[in-house]
Amino acid sequence: MDEGRQPLWRKLPISSSRINPYRIIIVLRIAILGLFFHYRILHPVNDAYALWLTSVICEIWFAVSWIFDQFPKWSPIMRETYLDRLSLRYEKEGKPSQLADIDVFVSTVDPMKEPPLITANTVLSILAVDYPVEKVACYVSDDGAAMLTFEALSETSEFARKWVPFCKKFSIEPRAPEWYFAQKVDYLKDKVDAAFIRERRAIKREYEEFKVRINALVAMAQKVPEDGWTMQDGTPWPGNNVRDHPGMIQVFLGQNGVRDIEGNELPRLVYVSREKRPGYEHHKKAGAMNALVRVSAIITNAPYLLNVDCDHYINNSKALREAMCFMMDPTSGKKICYVQFPQRFDGIDRNDRYSNRNVVFFDDLYMWELGVSSGGRHFMDMMPLLRGNHQGRHVTVGLNGAAVCVDLGRKRLNQSQQLTSFVMAFGGPLETLITGIDNEKSLLMSQQKFEKKYGQSSVFIASTLMEDGGLPKAASSATLLKEAIHVISCGYEDKTEWGKEVGWIYGSVTEDILTGFKMHCHGWRSVYCMPKRPAFKGSAPINLSDRLHQVLRWALGSVEIFFSRHCPIWYGYGGGLKSLERFSYINSVVYPLTSIPLIAYCALPAVCLLTGKFIVPEISNYASIIFMALFISIAATGILEMQWGGVGIHDWWRNEQFWVIGGASSHLFALVQGLLKVLAGVNTNFTVTSKAADDGDFAELYIFKWTSLLIPPLTLLIINIIGVIVGVSDAINNGYDSWGPLFGRLFFALWVIVHLYPFLKGVMGKQEGVPTIILVWAILLASILTLLWVRINPFLAKNDIVLEICGLKCD
């Protein structure tokens, strides 16, 4: 076959010798679980019935959750791309590149929590990406209307004129300067060219000066003037009132002949801050993304979108090409709505105390899940997104989880050249432009229906009908900018389908899960791509409090979906969602509910130690065999998963520990906040996760920040430690015979303490003494539990006289 006609990607088959053992272990473990629960249910603990019943309910919930996890893992797949074939097909020598245009979205809110230097590095990595410059446009959404962000972006555009040609001339990686210069490698290796050494030193000096200017802007922004900020011409900054300001758009690069220092064209760089007015619902990040969809459709109208958070830079300059291998594949491209990449992070401490890498999910679980006919879960809203339209801008696709769609329906307009050409004269009423195309009249909506769906902008509506994107030749920049300001106004989405069936879907702080789910319900497919060099890297919150707040937001989004009409348990039947995809999505929205049985189960050891009771009766030989078989099957499952996903035991253990920490804190608060929103209409404010501009020595790791999220795991930790002390003291007091029954309870309690150990290190920080709040909380809990232990024993009948042998020989 001609190489130019070959597929641009392929599935890598998984050998049966590797997958079948795991499947066998899954089946055996389910059978053992059946025997385990048969024994547990038929052998209650009569003198501790409440403890026994609680433990059995919790264990059944954990077992069901684990089984749901296994469904998507049954058919894992891997994929590889052929970048050479992509170039051969779409970049023929002597002809203009036929690669599709891409609009890149960068979202930021608060420059105090999301340092401008990090945002600048992300933007620079986008502008220097290995893709035709005329086909890339970068849009920065400033939802905080901060003048600091605006000025930092202006400085970034100037530095880009020097940085971009350097990157492309010497093909460096990564193309975010902060991380490129931070690499602890010999940059002279295989780079003996004197010109490279000279230019690298020069560009590093330029970057250091650029950092000084950015840091000076940040220092100046620490104190806001009484009259607000003013621009260079003396006029007040329009965004002085964050909650009440007009829409703002500024094109920094890509117009007025601005080129790099070598005279080459640069990608377009656009600053966007949508209008904010009191009394309007702005829908947080999802609303900001929808505003960017409309602005980009009017200014550049690329058929594909890539969405990144301000701290997620492009680590692999060929990442866009990797995605295009799927999206532009002539065979399968029209069925794919988005491409996903695993998340990778910089600046994580060596021990990854709070499981920020999350490799068990991204390298193991995610690969299994995406084997479900290319479907899967999406937890992280920071995942990049890529949207494609093969029939105009109606089809949207995502890259790495976050997804958006301009029209969620799988309608194919099949526009003829006549239909494509009539949008050139978009200035008049749309219905007059449609008149005369009788053969496609039944497929077109009237102007009123278009406006009800997309809003009252004939320019935007016309852009959605462009076959391959692009703009009308007759359109002037002034006209387009005026219309772009209109589509980011507060009232534009009123009485339209935006946020319901068009654009990012509203109703959850994790808009990526909800939007991706609806796209799969309409029959679209997604793929998971794991290039050898990570495509994107970001900054992870390594501080315990920030990490818990991040997990809280993700869990809250799942809870909001669970209590909404879009819950995958009952939504989307009769569409294109497959059974295993549905199981995967159900698991992604119900997991916060596990916090209740998890907290109850972690509290049981302390109760057992304080009361002298246990959740299991005296174990027989048959019960011992079942328990041992269960432990062996759990270990075998973990080993095979680690072997398959290439996950180390350290990463696996960190993931297990943070599952308990997050489940006992963030997931519980997410469940409570979700219930408050549904039952009482109490909305939760969005908390932006702080991104550190400099992670040197991991100083932020040891900062103790008190938050209410710390209360549940701290309580569990303290009561289990008290329980261990009480249990051991009681055994010492009662003699040798009491040690045997104690070991089971001690093992149970130590299991909880070991899992919460990273949490203990986090709350202790790097200080010599114990934080006052922890000391007070420990004394309070110890006092309460001691009084309960001494005065109350709920497992003894209150009307009966209890006689016990004192153990003393009075003869």
Mean pLDDT confidence for 626-633: 91
pLDDT band (50, 70, 90) for residue 375: very low
Q: Is 694 annotated as a binding residue?
A: no
82 domain residue, yes or no: no
pLDDT higher than threshold 50 for residue 352: yes
- Measured from the Cβ of residue 747, the count of other Cβ atoms closer than 10 Å reads 10
Query: Is 288:366 a contact under the CB 8 Å cutoff?
Result: no
CA distances from 681 to 653, 673, 674, 676 (A): 39, 10, 9, 6
- pLDDT of amino acid 769: 54
pLDDT, tens only, 182-239: 887 676 666 567 788 888 899 999 999 999 999 999 998 888 888 888 887 778 888 8
179 domain residue, yes or no: no
649 domain residue, yes or no: yes
Strand, helix or coil for residue 467: strand
Supply the mean pLDDT for the chain: 77
For 620, the domain range is 589-791
pLDDT higher than threshold 60 for residue 726: yes
**Helices (H) and strands (E) in the chain — how many of each?**
27, 12
Query: Is 497:454 a contact under the CB 8 Å cutoff?
Result: yes
Query: Is 171:264 a contact under the CB 8 Å cutoff?
Result: no
Look at phi and psi of residue 81 and say left if phi exceeds 0, alpha if psi is from -120 to 50, else beta. beta
Contacts of 716 (CB under 8 A, 6+ apart): 599, 602, 603, 606, 664, 752, 756
- pLDDT of amino acid 768: 53
Amino acid at 499: G
502 domain residue, yes or no: no
Q: Which residue has the tokens 């009482």?
A: 680
Contacts of 231 (CB under 8 A, 6+ apart): 147, 237
- Measured from the Cβ of residue 166, the count of other Cβ atoms closer than 10 Å reads 24
pLDDT higher than threshold 50 for residue 42: yes
Selected residue with higher pLDDT from 280 and 737: 280
- pLDDT of amino acid 215: 92
pLDDT, tens only, 306-323: 888 888 899 999 999 999
- Measured from the Cβ of residue 744, the count of other Cβ atoms closer than 10 Å reads 15
- pLDDT of amino acid 139: 94
Q: Is 107 annotated as a binding residue?
A: yes
**Which tokens belong to 504?**
């990012």
Q: How many domains is the chain built from? A: 1
Measured distance CA(406)–CA(29) in Å, rounded: 44
109 domain residue, yes or no: no
Q: Which residues are catalytic?
A: 143, 512
Mean pLDDT confidence for 98-108: 91
Q: Is 309 annotated as a binding residue?
A: yes
* Closest residue by Cα to residue 319 from 476, 104, 503, 481: 104
pLDDT, tens only, 537-583: 888 776 777 788 888 888 888 888 898 888 888 888 887 788 888 88
pLDDT, tens only, 69-94: 887 777 777 888 888 888 888 888 88
- pLDDT of amino acid 433: 34
Dihedral sign, Cα of residue 349, residue 350, residue 353, residue 357: positive
Query: Percent of the chain beyond pLDDT 70?
Result: 75
Q: How far is CA 756 from the centre of its chain?
A: 24
Measured distance CA(307)–CA(383) in Å, rounded: 7
Amino acid at 74: W
CA geometry: angle 112, 113, 116, nearest 5 deg: 65
pLDDT, tens only, 158-181: 999 999 999 999 888 899 999 999
Query: Is 513:560 a contact under the CB 8 Å cutoff?
Result: no
Q: Is 284 annotated as a binding residue?
A: yes
- pLDDT of amino acid 121: 94
- pLDDT of amino acid 329: 87
Contacts of 791 (CB under 8 A, 6+ apart): none
Q: In sequence order, what are the beta bridge partners of 103?
A: 137, 305
pLDDT, tens only, 476-515: 777 888 888 999 988 888 888 888 888 888 888 888 888 8
pLDDT band (50, 70, 90) for residue 774: low
327 domain residue, yes or no: no
The side-by-side arrangement of strands in the sheet containing 136-142 is: 248-253, 268-273, 136-142, 102-108, 304-309
648 domain residue, yes or no: yes
Q: How far is CA 293 from the centre of its chain?
A: 20
609 domain residue, yes or no: yes
pLDDT, tens only, 792-809: 554 444 455 555 566 666
Query: Is 105:294 a contact under the CB 8 Å cutoff?
Result: no
pLDDT higher than threshold 50 for residue 468: yes
pLDDT higher than threshold 50 for residue 398: no
pLDDT higher than threshold 70 for residue 440: no
Query: Is 137:296 a contact under the CB 8 Å cutoff?
Result: yes
* Closest residue by Cα to residue 557 from 677, 656, 466: 677
Mean pLDDT confidence for 230-257: 84
pLDDT, tens only, 649-706: 777 777 788 888 888 888 898 888 888 887 777 676 655 555 655 544 555 555 656 6
Amino acid at 336: I
pLDDT, tens only, 49-68: 888 999 999 999 999 988 88
Contacts of 507 (CB under 8 A, 6+ apart): 499, 514, 560, 561, 564, 566
Look at phi and psi of residue 145 and say left if phi exceeds 0, alpha if psi is from -120 to 50, else beta. left
pLDDT higher than threshold 80 for residue 439: no
- pLDDT of amino acid 806: 61
Question: What's the whole-model pTM score?
Answer: 0.82
Q: Is 143 annotated as a binding residue?
A: yes
pLDDT higher than threshold 70 for residue 395: no
